Amino acid sequence: MRQVRTIRYREIADALRERVVAGEFPAGRLLPSEAALSATYEASRVTIRRALEQLKDEGLVDARQGFGWFVARAPIRQSLGRLATLEDQLAASGIRPDRQILDFAFVPADDRTRTLLGTSQVLRVRRLNLADGEPFAIVTVWCPASLGEHLSRADVERSPFYELLPVRLGGASQTIGADAASIDDARLLDIPPGSPILRCERVTRTEDGDPVLVSVHLFPAYRTEFVVDMPRTEPSIAPTGLRLVE
């Protein structure tokens, strides 16, 4: 029986390896769950996990708590040291960026957006950003209707807001926290509902310091990491801007 189990997990590992190499599961894509693989190969979860562990030892797949197994790929690194679009960050990593507009509408601002932008009417754009054709981020952007009135859905599908607004941008502040993917967001990002995501809220300002954009970016936590350069200063080298969440 032990010999049969040994052969079985190796057969399953070989079959999964062939599917990955053939491109059925692209780099960064989640694999079917252990339960689904168990049903597909008519094997126990223990045997499936052993096959996956073998592929992990080969560097072909990896696993993250809350996600399951996925085809190994180094996380996409995003620098927080300068103001840049998501497309620029992806292209700098040698990755093909793309975007799909999910929603384009002029709407009343909610309380928080009204406070940040100082206006009651906004253009709200929700989009799905892709990295080499795979879901990478859900981004929602709000800008004052007075600045966005000349924009069309085709404009924001073709170019980032930073290239479309008739103002000179001076910088932005960004807050990053952890969250869990809703059912809708999980469907768009092709991850299990409740999976860990990074939630980044950015407020972009003009050279005069006036807020002109509010945006929220949702990233699967296993697909990206943020990098901050911290030059040494006296008397402390601790990064600034850290606070405890109540």
CB burial of residue 243 (10 Å; 0-12, 13-18, 19+) = exposed
Distance of alpha carbon 146 from alpha carbon 148, whole angstroms: 6
- What pLDDT, on the 0 to 100 scale, is given for residue 232? 67
- What pLDDT, on the 0 to 100 scale, is given for residue 188? 94
Distances, alpha carbon 75 to alpha carbons 136, 158, 211, 220, 236, in Å: 11, 26, 31, 10, 30
- What pLDDT, on the 0 to 100 scale, is given for residue 238? 46
Q: Are strands 196-206 and 211-220 parallel, antiparallel or unpaired?
A: antiparallel
Strand ranges across the sheet with 196-206: 97-108, 121-131, 134-144, 211-220, 196-206, 169-180
At 5, list the tokens: 């189990």
Q: Are strands 76-79 and 68-71 parallel, antiparallel or unpaired?
A: unpaired
- What pLDDT, on the 0 to 100 scale, is given for residue 31? 85
Does the structural domain 2-71 have CATH classification 1.10.3720.10?
Answer: no
Q: Are strands 97-108 and 121-131 parallel, antiparallel or unpaired?
A: antiparallel
Q: Are strands 134-144 and 121-131 parallel, antiparallel or unpaired?
A: antiparallel
- What pLDDT, on the 0 to 100 scale, is given for residue 235? 53
- What pLDDT, on the 0 to 100 scale, is given for residue 244? 46
Residue 197: strand pairing partners? 179, 220
DSSP string spanning 147-207?
A: HHTT--HHHHHHS-HHHHSSS-EEEEEEEEEEEE--HHHHHHHTS-TT-EEEEEEEEEEET
Distance of alpha carbon 246 from alpha carbon 244, whole angstroms: 6
Residue linked to tokens 């223990």: 46
Q: State the span(s) of the chain assigned CATH 1.10.10.10.
A: 2-71
pLDDT, one tens digit for every residue, the chain (246 residues): 454 455 788 899 888 888 887 878 877 778 888 888 999 999 998 898 898 888 888 778 888 776 788 887 766 777 777 777 788 878 877 888 899 999 999 999 999 999 999 999 999 999 999 988 888 899 999 999 999 999 999 999 999 999 999 899 998 999 999 999 999 999 999 888 888 899 999 999 999 999 999 999 999 887 787 877 777 665 544 455 545 444
Q: State the span(s) of the chain assigned CATH 3.40.1410.10.
A: 76-227
Residues 6+ apart with CB under 8 A from 89: 76, 78, 79
CB 12 within 8 A of CB 41: yes
Distance of alpha carbon 221 from alpha carbon 72, whole angstroms: 14
- What pLDDT, on the 0 to 100 scale, is given for residue 72? 75
CB 31 within 8 A of CB 70: yes
Assigned CATH class of 76-227: alpha beta
